[in-house]
Structure 1
Amino acid sequence: MTRLVKDGAEPLRLNLVVADFTRLDEVARVADTLAATLPTLDVLVNNAAVAAPEGRTYTADGHELTFQVNYLAPYLLTTKLVPRLAGVGGRVVNVSSLRHSGGNINWKNPAGDQYWPLAAYAQSKLALTMYTKSLAEAGGDSFIALSVHPGVFQTRLLRMYGRVGRPPEEAAPIITTLGSPTYPVVDGGYYDGLSLAKAAALVENPRARSRLEKLSVHLVASALR
């Protein structure tokens, strides 16, 4: 908040709400709080993510941590906020990763029969990118949804690899541009920076996306009540 004000934001227009994405009940609570506070929503950026831990880790909800934080939590948050986006030309910007193209969905066990951190991360970002396409189709003309690989930046997500990538401040213009209602984009598109790019084959597979939707609803059912 302090940094936003320092950068020129108006303090009275800022409202900080916090949720632990490893707890779906907190995600649902924050979504309900925002829905009750905001009559409309212009843009929703799902940027929160974690690097997969070295060993398989489960959340209190019983899900593999990476899959929940990087996919199930944004899915739940967005699903509950869609009514605030619809009809106002709102946008959903889901921060994906180039690694989504190397991912696969373990339909029977998203936690993975054998755990490998990079595979867990790739699966979570593939699911998010697939969901983005489905969300765009479901939204029709009422709002726009897109996913983006902004690039590699020096964030805490990559601290295990040392100081790699560009300064994180350079990612902000990419996200804000794609979230602007005046910037032309392809609804449901996957972007590499500001350029439309080719997504993984499963993203373009309607049957796979329908299967993911059913799985997602099942996994977050308790928090959707």
Structure 2
Amino acid sequence: MSSIVLVTGATEGIGFEAVRQLNADGATTILHARTREEGEDAVERLVKSGSEPLRLRLAVADFTSLREVAVMADEIAAEFPRLDVLVNNAAMVGSQRQALTEDGHEVTLQVNYLAAYLLTSLLEEAMRRASASRVVNVSSSLHCGGSVKWTDLNRTRRYTPAVAYAQSKLALTMFTKALAEYDPSGRTAVSVHPGIVNTKLLSNYAHRGRSVSEGAEPVVHLCSSEVAVHNGAYYDGRLPAKPAPTAEDSRAVERLWKLSARLTRPSEE
């Protein structure tokens, strides 16, 4: 039975290449795109590169809208009662100026973390139906320099793109630990720094980076059920690494877990 894998942010960069590699390995791959036009273009490029179209699916949601995330999750669960792997890869660099989404959250935090939190939560039942499901969160080494500003998550004071990005990746890494601690139930979760890769996020790191194929390789490696992982761990490439101290602080992890549930709860009409 081939595995079913959802990769978010998959129209370019590491996400696109991860879909290509997973599809080549025989997985049914669900490609998430921000818009249908971008998604259909990505699917066309994948098929031209040799991907099997019968094992490609498209899912669409703009992560600046939690409502769209919820609708997409419902559509995926309806078509795929079982989900083996969820790769939370979608990410953006911090916007040059502090900006809020329609849900009232700082845009980098929502796209890079809160959308992933909500999507993972809504697909929990589908993952439970898999014999050994896994969540792979694409983090960043920059999370080690981040902090969660509990009293000002939107960074209305002292905002910089780098600070917003680091906070979002720290939150994603902490979320990985929470998934392992609060609801293991046969599912494993890991976060991974794929290295410094030549994508749109490169400006956060350096002027030069590895190819997207090299960056996607450790992500795809960690998706395999044949690869034993340390549940809740942070990886640098294929190897376990030491995350930021906050990501191992049980009280901070629990606080973020509870806060995320509240922040992603649908507002009352």
- Relative contact order, higher structure (CA 8 A, sep 6+): 1
Q: How many residues were matched structurally?
A: 225
Asked if the contact 2:196–2:205 (Cα under 8 Å) also holds between the matched residues in 1, the reply is no
Partner in structure 2 of residue 96 of structure 1: 139
Q: Give the C-alpha shift of residue 159 in structure 1.
A: 5.2
Asked if 1:77 is matched to 2:77, the reply is no
Moved over 6 A (4+): none
Given the alignment of the two structures, is residue 221 of structure 1 paired with residue 265 of structure 2, yes or no? yes
Rounded Cα–Cα distance in structure 2 between residues aligned with 1:160 and 1:96: 13
Unaligned residue ranges in structure 2 (runs of 5+): 1-42
Q: Residues 40 and 46 from structure 1, CA distance in 2 versus in 1: closer, same or farther, beyond 3 angstroms? A: same
SS of 1:17's equivalent in the other structure is strand
The verdict on how the C-alpha distance between 1:67 and 1:224 changes in structure 2, with shifts beyond 3 A counting, is: farther
Structure 1 residue 111 corresponds to structure 2 residue 154: yes
Q: What amino acid is aligned across from residue 141 of structure 2 in structure 1? A: L
The alpha-carbon deviation at position 6 of structure 1 amounts to: 3.1
Question: Mean alpha-carbon deviation: is it higher for 1-10 or for 164-173?
Answer: 1-10
- Pick from 71, 87, 95: which aligns with 1:45? 87
Match of 2:179 among 123, 132, 135: 135
CA contact (8 A) 1:28 1:224 kept: no
CA RMSD of aligned residues (A): 1.9
In the alignment, the residues of structure 1 paired with residue 164 and residue 101 of structure 2 have an alpha-carbon distance, to the nearest angstrom, of: 14
Equivalences for 1:137-152 in 2 at 5 Å?
A: 137-152=181-196
Secondary structure at 1:16 match in 2: strand
1:191 has 2:211 as partner: no
The 3-state SS of whatever aligns with 1:207 is helix
Amino acid at match of 1:207: R
AA aligned opposite 1:5: V
Asked if residue 54 in structure 1 is aligned to residue 96 in structure 2, the reply is yes
1:179 is displaced (CA, Å) by: 0.4
Cα separation, partners in 2 of 1:184 and 1:161, compared to 1, 3 Å? closer
Alpha-carbon distance in structure 1 between the residues aligned to 2:55 and 2:47: 10
> Could you give the per-residue CA deviations for residues 69-103 of structure 1, whole angstroms, max 9, x where no partner exists?
00000000011011111252011100000010111
C-alpha contact 1:153 1:171 (8 A) present in aligned 2 = yes
CA–CA distance in structure 1, aligned partners of residues 203 and 48 of structure 2:
26
Normalised to the residue count of structure 2, the TM-score between the two structures is: 0.79
How far apart are the structure 1 equivalents of 2:197 and 2:115?
23
CA-to-partner distance for each residue in 1:173-219, whole Å, 9 max, x for gaps?
A: 21111000001111111000001000111111111111101211111
Cα gap change, 1:53 to 1:83, in 2 (>3 Å): same
Secondary structure at the counterpart of residue 15 of structure 1: strand
- Shift in Å at residue 157 of structure 1? 2.2
TM superposition shift of 1:160: 7.6
- What stretches of structure 1 of length at least 5 have no aligned partner? none
**Aligned equivalents of 1:137 and 1:167: distance in 2?**
34
Residue aligning to 1:3: 45
Letter in 2 for 1:16: L
Q: Aligned pair in 2 of structure 1 residues 224, 180: CA closer, same or farther (>3 Å)? A: farther
Supply the AA of the counterpart residue of 2:265: A
Query: What is the match of residue 208 of structure 1?
Result: 252
**CA separation of 1:13/1:106 partners in 2, compared to 1, >3 Å: closer, same or farther?**
same
Which range is displaced more, 154-163 or 201-210? 154-163
- Distance (Å, rounded) in 2 between the aligned partners of 1:163 and 1:101: 20
